[in-house]
Homo-oligomer: A and B are copies of this chain.
């Protein structure tokens, strides 16, 4: 079972890159480089797991024993302050890698938003894995570099943008989610709650709600249902978001 599962998930050149953050990324096909005989060995040390929405599968501060590759669903990554304030550092979907960092404890928590499926590897075997599959290492480096760019963009948002600008940036990001480079959807749905959006944008749920209402009243977007958005004026939103992403 595992070999069939492993190929499309770990090795799919499309899954692992966030197309929004990496418009110029040229996905490297890792697929072709791994022989089928090796796939068995790879699969032998991977454990495929599924989680229910709301379930935490990585806990900040716990020993970082595993390395994850998400294969389906969406999860949120977050950090907490002692008093419970939360910052969501990202939403991750199929193809993302978690637990890369050289540290013996996890630096963040991860919780499933939708039902999430992932491959889990023992971190102690990661070194070996990378030595055996050098193209996987190249892949990880690309992914990490692109996440770094996205993180810098998010710091700009959190440090310097107004609530309006944050929501505009966020909606554009979501409209490009899972789309090929340079493309976006006019209509899309948000898998996360207002509270998640607020904690991602460094705002409160009230401000998120009010700002969405305002953007709608100005004709920039439509909020069809709680989770369903239509972008009515993409260039207007882009002007608000400031710059590219």
Q: Bound state CA distance, A147 and B148, in angstroms? A: 8
- Give the chain B neighbours of A104 by CB distance below 8 A: 24
Interface set, chain A 148-189, CB cutoff 8 A to B: 148-149, 151-156, 158-161
* Choice from B79, B82, B160 contacting A152 with Cβ under 8 Å: B79
- Chain A interface residue count, Cβ-Cβ cutoff 8 angstroms: 50
A108 to B149, CA, bound (A): 8
A47-87 Cβ-contact flags toward B at 8 Å (1 or 0): 00000000000000000000000000000010101110111
- The count of identical subunits is 2
User: A105 vs B108: C-alpha distance in the bound complex, in angstroms?
Assistant: 30
Judging by beta carbons under 8 Å apart, are A146 and B81 in contact? no
Stretch of A112-120, A134-142, A224-232 that contacts chain B: A134-142
Nearest B residue (CB) for A162: B85
**A188 vs B230: C-alpha distance in the bound complex, in angstroms?**
52
Of the residues B83, B102, B142, B243, contact of A102 by C-beta under 8 Å = B142
Cβ of A25 under 8 Å from chain B: yes
**Which B residues lie within 8 Å of A33 (CB)?**
none
Could you say which residues of chain B place their CB within 8 Å of the CB of A140?
141
Q: How far is the CA of A245 from the CA of B101 in the complex (A)?
A: 16
User: What mask results when residues 6 to 29 of chain A are scored 1 for a CB within 8 Å of chain B, else 0?
Assistant: 000000000000000011111000
| List of 4 A-B pairs having minimum Cβ-Cβ separation, nearest first | A159-B202, A158-B158, A151-B151, A144-B144
List, sorted by A's number, 24 A–B pairs whose CB atoms are closer than 8 Å: A23-B103, A24-B102, A24-B103, A25-B103, A26-B102, A81-B242, A85-B160, A86-B160, A100-B145, A100-B148, A101-B145, A101-B148, A103-B146, A134-B134, A137-B137, A137-B141, A141-B141, A144-B144, A144-B148, A148-B148, A148-B151, A154-B155, A158-B202, A160-B202
